[in-house]
Structure 1
Amino acid sequence: MTNRQDMKNNIKEALANPNLRGALGRFGNDYLVSREKAYTGKNFEELREKISSIKRSAAGRMEELADRFTQNMLSRGAKVYRAKNAQEARDYILNLAMARGVKKIVKSKSMASEEIHLNEYLNEKGLESVETDLGEWILQLSGQKPSHMVMPAIHMTRGEVADVFSGEINLQLSSDIPVLVKVAREQLRRKFLEAGMGISGANIAVAETGTLVITTNEGNGRLTTTLPPIHVAIVGLEKLVEKFADVEPILEALPRSATGQKITSYVTMITGPTPVIDAGGNVKPKELHIVLLDNGRSQMQADPVFKQALQCIRCASCLNVCPVFQIVGGHVYGHVYTGGIGTILTAFFNGFENASDIQNLCIGCERCKRFCPGKIDIPGLIRELRSRVVDKKGLPGIPKFVMQRVLPNRKLFHRLLKVAHAAQKPFQTGGLVRHLPLFLAGLTEGRSLPAIADKPFRDLVVALDDKKVAQEEQWQPRVGFFAGCLTDFIYPRLGVAVYKLLHHMGMQMVFPLEQTCCGMPAVYMGSRETAAELARQNIAAFEKAGVDYITTACPTCAHALKHHFVEALAGDPKWGERARNFSSKVYTFAALLAEKSNGGQNLKLAQTTGKVTYHDSCHMKGVFGITVEPRELLKSAGLELVEMEGPDRCCGFGGSYSIKYPEISQHILEKKLASIINSGAELLALDCPGCLLQLHGGLDSRDKNITVKHTAEILAEQLLP
């Protein structure tokens, strides 16, 4: 179990390792290119719909499929053992080895064997268990654990591997890859020939035929399953599918999503034991044993929320695109299984306590959700896990005070913001806070912060075009504007821009003064009660206002209004239906503006010149799938759009994440800023106040003369009378 101080120390150590960040960063960049190429001609959305349907059905019938698989394997001469937990699985394999006089074992790559800590157990009992996957063998020799579910040694450079191999054979080796591969082949080949047992995992287990499907990129998998007289396959119950036809879509997606390949080097299918021919040409019977592993999977199946995690096909694409994983790696962001999905699997397979701190590393960017071929809502499951941690342990002191006392009390919250406004003045220069004292200094490390506005939007809105209020009361539609904390108190100019654009299109802005925080800080901290209370307060405020639409210039707030309010109040007989009605009216401002203005064509805009690059905020693209609309709006003002590299990569803000983990946030920010600067644009457009805070602050602290504006600001400035 990793405590919070250990976590901080591990993060610090990872960030101080340039080889780690370089290896993960390069792979992350290359992966996107190779994955896109591998999926050319494939409809990923259709494919993932098939896979999620197959896996969802199988997860719901796990026991039935396990029984069918067992019967079919038994009929072909294999042995099947159902292991309830890790200890039962380990003991079965140990007892089998002892009964057959096995002393040496070779293993093909298997995360299930890592999950049950098999190597350590067998070695403690006097057996030699050798990993034969190149990456796994490197880690075994260096005393490390896998940092990635598909590429276990991805965090190591070839120079580090050369040092490990040099120590193994007592000869200094170069870092030339063919040399290292030759050494591995020579060292491992005799292990295969001496082994009395081979242990593997399996990617798929087909109930209809009793078939194991194993995908590998190295020949060690086939050597492990064929050369030794005994083959043991450790198979998690979630690997079961009903029909042989179900294999096809999984095999289409697995290599493409895992490594950007159309197919792996080897696809092995095993249906029952096969004869073994010894060195003398004699045919001997081969033993095939399948250990069907539960170890928390039935518990996961019985959980109505977490059941969908059984749809995972272990491609690790969620790790490959995770900005946090690319910074700190799997030894920090993981236990046995790594990354976001690994955190969820850890909670059920290796103990809730081993996931309780790791889950905090998720920044909530939603990127993994878009790439998952199993259509698993990984960010949603992590939020649920976080809530269960809080339900069990409670919140620590200051967060507890903020969640329970400050956020639900709108008047107190606003009074504290006024106090903060007064306190910031000694540190404010030109509307920015570039340095803070003492324990607050970390907040301005690597970025400037915007000052709290002299007047919040709620004070400005009353005076906006006041002389036309009477006339506007007759206008339709009435658009309720949800400002959110940043627009209301930090960037009131965004609210003014939204007002001008709505007014320009003949819409009336309605701003309920009773509105308060959207509740996303509570959602991300796992405080269910606070999130529900804030949802009730905001729904009541907008119901009272009587609006046709509800819009916000913050996609994170839109995510809360449209989705989290419904989730928070789903079981409330009084508020559940009200939340759904409220949700049906919610639009991000970019979507509403694009729809009502025909992509900006109906706006009367002065045409301007200049190059603009656009940053896709995590929630705008990841949750709402909105990418084209803001770009069309910018082009309607005459701007030349220049795409940056990775426009949808996270900026590292993540709300309170940049306060909890400022070091990680800064490293993610650095990568984003490099993309923006390299685009050559003089204007950066975006649609999220949080991203505005992060990116403008980062560019300012580096003295980069790039203007950063919300799309609404840019368009409002170009409006003609």
Structure 2
Amino acid sequence: MEREFKESIHKAVNDANLTGALGTFSEAYKVNRTKAYEGIDFEELRNRIASIKGHAASNLKELSAQFASAAEARGATVFRTSDPAKVREYILKVAKDNGVKSVVKSKSMATEEIHLNPFLEAAGIEVGETDLGEWIIQLAGQTPSHMVMPAIHMTRDEVADLFSKEVDERLSSDIPRLVKVARDQLRPKFLNADMGISGGNIAVAETGSIVLMTNEGNARLVTSLPRIHVALVGIEKLVEKLADIAPILKALPRSATAQLLTSYVSIISGPTPNPDGSIKDLHIILMDNRRTEMAEDPIFKQALQCIRCASCLNVCPVFRLVGGHVFGKVYTGGIGTILTAWFDELKKSEDIQGLCIQCGNCKEVCPGKIDIPELIMEIRRRLVKDQGLPLLQKTIYAVVNNRKLFHGMLRAASVVAKPLATGGFLRHLPLFLADLTDGRSLPAIAEEPFRDRFKKITQPECAQKAVFYAGCLIDFAYPEMGEALVRILNKAGIQVLFPEEQTCCGAPARYNGAYEVAARNAADNIKALLEVEADYVVSACPTCTVALVHDFSSTLKSTGQQEWLTQATILAKKTMDFSSLLKQLVDQGRVSFKEGQELGAITYHDSCHLKRTLHATEQPRELLTKAGYELKEMFECDMCCGMGGSYSLKLPEISGPILQRKISNIRSADAETVAMDCPGCVMQIRGGFDQDGGDVRVKHTVELLAERMKE
């Protein structure tokens, strides 16, 4: 990443006002959103929205034409274009033809997208934002940091300072007083404006209607008081029928601000009378700007299902640390990264796409059912395809794709790092590697990897067999986890097999856009894991499990390696995460746990891939409870720990604060042990506690359950 971008990250994470404001909102949002959706089947609702918006995305040209015809029949003038420059020129021409001197605007991301304000101001037209948040950032000379709450990054003290300068009076940070000042300042702008400019939350092709949803009432004033109304609407806002707006009206306020409904819903169908009795001049601009091109892309088409609620920002652990001025351009956060790559250009998303930690929070809450993490992965793939890999990454992946060389280097690293290791940790690394142990110790490479220890394990002959896919961390850093898994499965009457040709699952390469490298890893592992007959393939690493179950197939498809797809499907069907398999075995009475012993309290951290992709949340909790542990849920148990694979190495300035928040939540749970199902999370959290001086045990679930298993 460029130095300037890194500096912006550093500045943001060290801005206590920014991180405090975003963190407080994020915590409250999750609780309030849950309440707002009580009694509503969110999955059914988001399926309806995805269907409505997906249908519209498949028929943009037809719906645009239908909308234009219906709106013009009601007396509106409709202008359609794909060129942002022509949008600006059209609005300026309307203004000049009508002698417009001043414009008032309601909140519109489409106008931000085309940088309309500075264009009109350069032509001598006064432009006033009237949404409170937009007015605040206009006074500050900033751009929106959030698509729904543009000034969320500012404290009320900062707003008070801005307003004080505007009215030339020292104001306190009393919110009712500040709102009154804003009302007094904005009211004359509404009354004196010649033109009002709005966006549109929804455009209905059937009736030619524009739907606006607001809380402040300013949009109604913008669209009713000035004699000219210009509505700028991206064509992705189109839906086919008036009935299609109902599910969006239900989801948008709940997802955006955790409200049951917005204060105002306006449906504008044709020109309305002006205060003087004349008929308003209504211009509706349908803007394409590569949206049709996006709709024709089979992968990115789903991004047009976005209803601009920004819930993806509200739950993002990275966004709440750095805000939208770092994580975004015009559009912010995860969805903003995708829109930037299309509405601007792919290269403009190069820095911001790297901020995504792939935790999957956004996918879980998106009412448009958009797989934002997967689309960001596709951006990475296309960037690598266009620009190639940096030399260092090429070198690393060349090693990883050579299993014998890769494993040989890991063994060598165990020997080389031995003088630096104390208590199983690397706490201080020399020279340019020092940042890697800043805030988190790293595990020392095991002197004897699991693949060597496995040969010494005596197992009973069993009718059922399971192939164990260890992954790099269990194999070379935490072999004791692998041994615990073998003991448990043996007790259940399952013999464990360990094909030595297995290698890296390819997740590090895939998450960095190097799909060709990941495809090679996939092929090598498919061959190794299927060459032995077994009933199951089991992994105790959710990231690896996701690779085997989901990523191998999609990676092979993306790289055109069709010859491995059938075997990838077979492997996916046989693969299970450890907790889900063990839950089945316990339910079948094949494994049981000791009884009658008082155990200390335990809390559980949900690993991102286990919860959000594999949907295994209750299984590990039920197993730990059956094993006799007292489970205490921690706050934000399912929020990312900051590991993100190589993310913690590339962006320690973001990974570190996320980890510290997780450690704080674990401490607040008042438990002696924290359990998790991911060796990567163990590495992150155990390393954090080592440097933090904490006495909380950090354990993989497999180790805790092995300790409690009846002999």
Q: Return the TM-score normalized by structure 2.
A: 0.98
Question: Helix, strand or coil for the counterpart of 2:389?
Answer: coil
1:26 and 2:24 correspond:
yes
Unaligned runs of 5+ in 2: none
What displacement does 1:157 show?
0.1
Amino acid of the structure 2 residue aligned with 1:581:
I
Equivalent in 238, 242, 253 of residue 251 of structure 2: 253
Q: Deviations over 1:201-250 (max 9, x none)?
A: 11111111111110011111100010001111111111000111111111
| 1:176 Cα offset (Å) | 0.8
How far apart, in 2, do the equivalents of 1:375 and 1:705 lie?
A: 41
Contact 1:635 1:641 in 2 (8 A): yes
Residue 284 and residue 294 in structure 1: after superposition, are their counterparts in 2 closer, same or farther (change >3 A)? same
The answer (yes or no) to whether the contact 1:611–1:683 under 8 Å persists in 2 is: yes
Picking from 53, 63, 66, the partner of 2:64 is: 66
Structure 2 partner of 1:703: 693
- Contact 2:593–2:627, Cα closer than 8 Å, also in 1: no
Question: Cα offset for 1:596?
Answer: 2.2
Corresponding residue for 1:509?
496
Q: What residue identity is the alignment partner of 2:624?
A: L
User: Which string of whole-angstrom CA distances, capped at 9 and with x for unpartnered residues, describes residues 508-558 of structure 1?
Assistant: 111110000000001111001101000000000012112221110000111
Q: 1:348 aligns with which of 331, 342, 349?
A: 342
Alignment-derived partner of residue 270 in structure 1 = 268
CA distance in 2, matches of 1:602, 1:495: 17
2:399 to 381, 397, 406: 406
Q: Does 1:433 align with 2:426?
A: yes
User: In 2, distance between residues paired with 1:225 and 1:233?
Assistant: 9
2:387 corresponding residue in structure 1: 393
Contact 2:493 2:590 in 1 (8 A): no
Number of matched pairs: 708
Instruction: Name the structure 1 match of 2:483.
Output: 496
Cα distance change, pair 410–140 in 1 and its aligned pair in 2 (3 A): same
Please state if 1:312 is matched with 2:306.
Answer: yes
Rounded to whole Å, the distance in 2 between the matches of 1:150 and 1:277 is 30
Match of 1:197 among 179, 195, 198: 195
Q: Quick check: 2:686–2:698 contact (8 Å CA) kept in 1?
A: yes
Indicate which of 223, 226, 247 corresponds to 1:225. 223
The letter of the residue matching 2:678 is: C
Q: Which letter maps to 2:499?
A: P
Matched, 1:717 2:704: no
**CA drift at 1:65:** 0.8
How far is 1:197 from its partner?
A: 0.5
User: In structure 1, how many angstroms separate the alpha carbons of the residues matched to 2:193 and 2:562?
Assistant: 63
Which residue of 2 is the match for residue 590 of structure 1? Answer: 579
Tell me, yes or no, if the aligned pair for 2:591 and 2:709 is still in contact at 8 Å.
Answer: no
Aligned partners of 1:337 and 1:346 also within 8 Å: yes
The question of whether the paired residues in 1 share the 8 Å contact of 2:381 and 2:514 is answered with: yes
Q: Distance in 2 between matches of 1:601 and 1:38?
A: 43
Match of 1:569 in 2: 556
Residue 461 of structure 1 corresponds to 454
Residue 310 of structure 2 aligns with an amino acid whose one-letter code is A
Q: CA deviation at 1:709?
A: 0.7
One-letter amino acid matched to 1:414 = H
Question: Deviation per CA, 1:552-577, whole angstroms, max 9, x where unpaired?
Answer: 00001111111110011224331111
Secondary structure, aligned partner of 1:704: coil
Q: How does 1:294-305 map to 2 (within 5 A)?
A: 294-305=288-299
What corresponds to 2:207 in structure 1? 209
The residue aligned with 1:519 is 506
**Mapped contact 1:613–1:685 kept (Cα < 8 A):** yes
**Displacement of 1:605:** 3.2
Give the aligned partner of residue 611 of structure 1: 601
Indicate conservation of the 8 Å contact 1:594/1:600, yes or no. Answer: no
Q: Summarize deviations over 1:52-111 as a string: whole Å, max 9, x none.
A: 111111100111111111111000000110021211111110111011110100000000
Partner AA of 2:241 in structure 1: K
Task: Determine if the alignment matches structure 1 residue 8 to structure 2 residue 2.
Answer: no
1:549 to 536, 541, 544: 536
Q: What is the rounded CA distance, in whole Å, between the counterparts of 1:289 and 1:668 in structure 2? A: 47
> In terms of mean alpha carbon deviation, does 119-128 or 597-606 score higher?
597-606
Let me know the Cα RMSD of the aligned residues. 1.1
For residues 386 and 362 of structure 1, the distance between their equivalents in structure 2, rounded to whole angstroms, comes to 11
Matched, 1:289 2:276: no
User: What is the distance in 2 between the residues matched to 1:712 and 1:46?
Assistant: 35
**How many Å separate the matches in 1 of 2:16 and 2:347?**
30
- 3-state secondary structure, aligned to 1:363: coil
Kindly indicate whether the alpha-carbon contact (under 8 Å) linking 1:135 and 1:151 is maintained by their aligned counterparts in 2: yes
For residues 331-342 of structure 1, the aligned pairs below 5 Å read 331-342=325-336
Number of the residue aligned with 1:329: 323
Mapped pair 1:421 → 2:414: yes
Structure 1 position 601, deviation (Å): 8.1
Contact 1:383–1:524 (CA<8 Å) still a contact in 2? yes
Q: CA deviation at 1:607?
A: 4.9
Q: TM-score under structure 1 normalisation? A: 0.97
Give 3-state SS (helix, strand or coil) of 2:670's partner.
coil
CA distance, structure 2, for counterparts of residue 540 and residue 484 of structure 1: 15
1:131-146 → structure 2 map (5 Å cutoff): 131-146=129-144
Using the alignment, how far apart are the partners of 2:440 and 2:589 within structure 1?
A: 33
Number of the residue aligned with 1:384: 378
Residues 237-294 of structure 1: CA deviation (Å, up to 9, x unaligned): 110001111111111110000000000111111111111122xxxx101011111010
* Counterpart check, 1:579 vs 2:568: yes
Report the Cα distance in structure 2 between the residues aligned to 1:305 and 1:605, rounded to whole angstroms: 50
Secondary structure of the residue aligned to 1:508 is strand
Q: Which residue of 2 aligns with 1:122?
A: 120
Contact 1:593-1:599 at 8 Å conserved across structures: no
- What are the ranges of 5 or more consecutive residues in structure 1 without an aligned counterpart? none
Distance 2:116 2:219 in 1: 18
